[in-house]
Amino acid sequence: MFEKFFPKEWVDSTYNIDYQKYYDQGYRGVIFDIDNTLVPHGVDADERAVKLFEKLREIGFDVCLLSNNKKHRVERFNRAVNANYIFKAQKPYSRNYYQAATMMKISIKSVLCIGDQLFTDIYGGNLAGIYTILVNPINKKEEIQIRLKRFLEKPVLMAYKKKLKKSHKSYPRKKRI
């Protein structure tokens, strides 16, 4: 029932992913959500995000930001990372996932989608046939509509954890700060 919302993989952080491994497997593009995937909500690109985008380009990846946010927010973040981007993406609709692949001039099958929300980032990537990676949110401070989505995500995540347990795989534990 919930499988359409399940990511292909779940990791603790965008910054802990072995991108070289995926490049070696044939992936050539990465679609990122911004808020709580790369930086806390509303924050500009920080040094860690800039270094990640530099590393991805060194490996050979092209990158596209795919955000439901407004143009001003996405452009402000993008000043430091200089990536392709789509604002007001209307995720989870798959149209702009395909557009992102077109902007990167690669096949949709060679794209990774990384985000922190099941019902937008992951579901949309799944609908488009992209390899999806769920990351834990960077910061608990979120807008009310996101907190409501997090509440609705809980049963889906419980079902996903159960599936992982049956397949003897693990999921990332939330770090206590």
Q: What are 40-74's pLDDT values in tens digits? A: 988 999 999 999 999 999 999 999 999 999 999 99
Q: Of the candidates 129, 152, 141, which has an alpha carbon nearest to the alpha carbon of residue 2? A: 152
Coil, strand or helix at 55: helix
Mean pLDDT of the chain: 90
Exposure string for 44-78, b = 16+ CB within 10 A, e = fewer: ebeeebeebbeebeeeebbbbbbbbbeeebbebbb
109-147 tens-digit pLDDT: 999 999 999 999 999 999 999 999 999 998 777 677 777
Model pTM score: 0.87
Residue carrying the six token digits 């159960």: 162
